[in-house]
Amino acid sequence: MPLVRIAMRRGKSSAYIVAVRDSIYAAMRESFDVPENDRFILVSQHDADEFDCDPHYLDIVRSDDLVVVQIACRDSRSAMQKQAFFRCVAEKLAIAPGLRPEDVFINLLETAKENWSFGNGIAQYA
């Protein structure tokens, strides 16, 4: 049930965006127990003046290729699963589209399962 929002600087190609989406979805399937076809991914691109991220916070050197991934998901995963997921996303994005791990920022927003409606005005998991 994750809802994935991906933000990046404007100017990336369609192939780049597809690679980012596909890599994150593959990581969710592999290490986050996300079922097949549970794919809801939104991508937004921003001009430089709309994308304000510190390039050195926590001594991590970020470039203009920074990708911010925010995932709303059910509050059901252990800290170990989350760590494995973060590593898996960074590894997959390093392969395709070739992002440096320093340029992968991930934030999880966990909610109870009854807070989701996938359509028809029904809370399917409540």
Q: What is the CA radius of gyration of the chain?
A: 15
Q: Active-site residue among 2, 35, 97, 101?
A: 2
Cβ-contact 67, 103 below 8 angstroms: yes
Phi, psi of 28 (to 5 degrees): -65, -40
Note if 2 is an active site residue.
yes
Q: What is the C-alpha separation between 66 and 51, in angstroms, rounded?
A: 10
In the numeric block, which tokens belong to residue 118?
Answer: 């996938």
Q: What is the C-alpha separation between 40 and 69, in angstroms, rounded?
A: 13
Residues shown for the chain: 126
Known catalytic residues? 2
